[in-house]
Amino acid sequence: MSVNRQWHGWHFYRWDSKIMAGGALTGFVNGLLGSGGGMVAVPVLEKSGLDVKQAHSGSLAVILPLSVISAAMYWHGGRVALADVWPYLPAGLAGAFCGAKLMGRISPRLLHRIFGGFAIWAGVNLLLR
Amino acid sequence: MPTAMIAALAGFLAGTAGAMGLGGGSILLLYLTLVAGEDQLHAQGINLLFFIPCAAAALWLHQKENRVPWRVVVPTALWGLPGAAVGFWLSGRLGGQGTGKLFGLFLLALGIRELLFPPQKGFSDQQKASLSQKTHPMP
């Protein structure tokens, strides 16, 4: 991998209103629901012209800093302790590697179907709780 | 199956789906609230903490494949920061019960949208290449 770390200036990035509104909405959902930021970020990124795989990997890069900020606020507000996450972390990291490797090989259409089906199932479960 | 194994399985699935940008967060969050019986806001906090190292690992792999469109990602993330603060404040006002129901509605709406109206491709291959190329700077 060779990445050019040179700073290209602010004009290099896209600052249109669609991206600003989408970004603010993504952060809002992430802070409010403690998840789901990615589910907002993916369609936002796709609307800005990226293909489905770029949008899905780009959403991670958007949500990561937002989750750091949100988690810091949750932690500071006494809602969660750092130790609470240990039971899930090792398996989660293993899953993250599998997911990232799998992504180059899975069809975008299938990604959408899995994503949509899962969201409906989860939403119904939460509402009926 | 012992609880620790189910917890690990939930973590694994959440990591996998999260790495693919598939809302892995909701898998762990649903496990924590529906199965483990955690309070909604506590579960959301665990979920956020859990997501940070998993996303960092997956992002590193995606970056190696030059799959991350930094040109769009950086402004989106920057505009999300004030949004996150407002969202956090509102979750405190709504409480665990209200936030949980809101999360259910959110998932349902998103799932229906995803199945019925999948997004169309927007840019040409050339434009996409310009959005994510090897000369992209790290933010």
What ipTM was estimated for this complex?
A: 0.82
Pick the residue of A2, A16, A33 with the most B CBs within 10 A to test the interface with B by mutation.
A33
Contact A28 B127 (CB under 8 A): no
Cβ atoms of B70 and B139 closer than 8 Å: yes
Confidence category of residue B82, pLDDT binned at 50, 70, 90: very high
Distance from CA of residue B83 to its chain's centroid? 15
Contact B104 A125 (CB under 8 A): yes
Contact B61 A44 (CB under 8 A): no
Mean pLDDT to the nearest integer, B34-56 = 91
Using CA coordinates, name the residue in chain A closest to B77: A62
Separation in Å, CA of A76 to nearest CA in chain B = 10
Mean pLDDT to the nearest integer, B26-32 = 87
Q: A89-109, pLDDT tens digit by residue?
A: 999 999 988 888 887 787 777
Using CA coordinates, name the residue in chain A closest to B4: A87
Query: Taking 80 as the threshold, does the pLDDT of residue B85 lie above it?
Result: yes
| Cα→Cα distances B83→A31, A66, B24, B31, B104, Å | 7, 9, 21, 26, 20
